[in-house]
């Protein structure tokens, strides 16, 4: 038997062994083959996703409400796990509040479109952005906000520009991850960390003082809150929306 054939047979037996091992212990220990999963629902940066809640599953309407009222906003449609802002109706908001969290989702924007993911939001205000911080969702190439790095896709709106610019064009899916631990905020776009800042730091305070938020009493003051997907008047799609609480209490449970 040739050396190449012997090697091929050994490789086949090894693969069979891995498959049998996965079948035997797959419910307890993830096998190496599962780490290679790809596609829109795959883990970010090669990480295994554990403890996340899918917010666009069969029970999606148990997880969402309108920002302005408790019902499902009429302009948002859900089909096959994809949420689309198809008409007017206001922002859609998570029913649950989160303090520290890891939020992951995919978004796709229409040509010239604008939307946003706003987090640690209070209710009772005219708009969620009066209290919450925004991860910008945008067609950088066609919308006027794309001309300013501070208001470009993936950035912390009007405060921190995305660095690097990792956005894909309108009509293509972008993968976002927002991680908030205490006052530490990180945005990831398409696998790259594009924002890393600390609320209340000298750098933050300097930027805040120079921004339109300088006199906003409630902005970025919440330790916990809801998150909203913005109705900015344009068609936008979201999918694979899942979140994991990083609160110490939740971790202990």
Let me know whether 95 and 8 are in one domain: no
Instruction: State residue 251's pLDDT score.
Output: 44
Instruction: State residue 142's pLDDT score.
Output: 98
Instruction: Identify whether 71 is part of a domain.
Output: yes
Instruction: State residue 248's pLDDT score.
Output: 80
Cα–Cα distances (Å) from 112 to 90, 138, 230, in that order, read 19, 8, 15
Let me know whether 62 and 28 are in one domain: no
CA diameter of the chain: 80
In contact, 161 and 150? CB cutoff 8 Å: yes
Instruction: Write the DSSP string, 40-95.
Output: TTSPGGG----S-EESSSTTGGGTEEESSSSSPPTTEEEETTEEEE-S-S--EEES
**pLDDT tens for residues 144-172?**
999 999 999 999 999 999 999 999 999 99
What is the domain extent for residue 142?
A: 50-252
Instruction: Identify whether 44 is part of a domain.
Output: no
- Whose tokens are 């303090």? That residue is 99
Instruction: State residue 49's pLDDT score.
Output: 84
Instruction: State residue 48's pLDDT score.
Output: 66
Cα–Cα distances (Å) from 253 to 29, 37, 246, in that order, read 21, 28, 11
Per-residue tens of pLDDT for the chain, all 253 residues: 444 444 344 444 444 444 444 444 444 333 333 333 334 444 444 456 899 999 999 999 999 999 999 999 999 999 999 999 999 999 999 999 999 999 999 999 999 999 999 999 999 999 999 999 999 999 999 999 999 999 999 999 999 999 999 999 999 999 999 999 999 999 999 999 999 999 999 999 999 999 999 999 999 999 999 999 999 999 999 999 999 999 985 444 4
Ranges of beta strands (E only) in the chain are 53-54, 64-66, 76-79, 82-85, 92-94, 101-109, 114-121, 133-138, 174-181, 184-189, 192-198, 226-229, 236-245
d(CA 225, CA 243): 13
Let me know whether 120 and 29 are in one domain: no
Q: With the CA atoms of 213, 218, 220 and 222 taken in that order, what torsion angle do they form, in degrees rounded to the nearest 10?
A: 180
* Percentage helix, strand, coil for the chain under 3-state DSSP, each rounded to 5: 25, 30, 45
Cα first-last separation, the chain: 57
Let me know whether 148 and 26 are in one domain: no
Q: What is the CATH number of the domain that holds 231?
A: 2.60.120.560
Residue 199 CA from chain centroid, whole number = 19
Instruction: Identify whether 43 is part of a domain.
Output: no
In contact, 240 and 104? CB cutoff 8 Å: yes
Q: Which of 180, 214, 221, 227 is nearest to 200 (CA)?
A: 221
Instruction: State residue 25's pLDDT score.
Output: 43
By three-state DSSP, how is residue 98 classified? strand
Structurally, how many domains does the chain consist of? 2
Let me know whether 66 and 115 are in one domain: yes
């Amino acid at each position: 038997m040739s050396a190449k054939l012997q090697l091929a047979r050994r490789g086949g037996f090894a693969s069979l062994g891995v498959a049998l091992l996965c079948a035997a212990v797959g419910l307890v220990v993830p096998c190496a083959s599962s780490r290679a999963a790809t596609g829109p629902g795959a883990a970010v940066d090669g990480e295994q996703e554990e403890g996340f809640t899918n917010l666009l599953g069969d029970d999606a309407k148990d997880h969402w409400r309108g920002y302005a009222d408790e019902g499902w906003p009429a302009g948002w449609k859900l089909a096959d796990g994809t949420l689309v802002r198809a008409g007017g109706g206001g922002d859609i908001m998570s029913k649950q509040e989160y303090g520290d969290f890891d939020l992951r989702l995919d978004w796709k924007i229409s040509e010239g479109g604008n939307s946003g993911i706003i987090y640690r939001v209070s209710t009772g205000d005219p708009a969620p952005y009066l209290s919450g911080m925004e991860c910008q969702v945008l067609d950088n190439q066609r919308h006027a906000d794309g001309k300013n790095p501070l208001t470009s896709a993936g950035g912390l709106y009007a405060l921190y520009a995305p660095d690097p610019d990792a956005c894909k064009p309108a009509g293509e899916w972008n993968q976002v991850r927002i991680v908030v631990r205490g006052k530490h905020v990180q945005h990831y776009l398409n696998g790259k960390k594009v924002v890393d800042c600390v609320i209340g730091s000298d750098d933050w305070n300097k930027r805040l003082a120079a921004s339109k938020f300088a006199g906003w009493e409630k902005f970025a003051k919440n330790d916990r809150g809801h998150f909203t997907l913005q109705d900015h008047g344009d068609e936008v799609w979201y999918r694979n929306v899942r979140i994991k609480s990083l609160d110490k209490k939740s971790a202990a449970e």
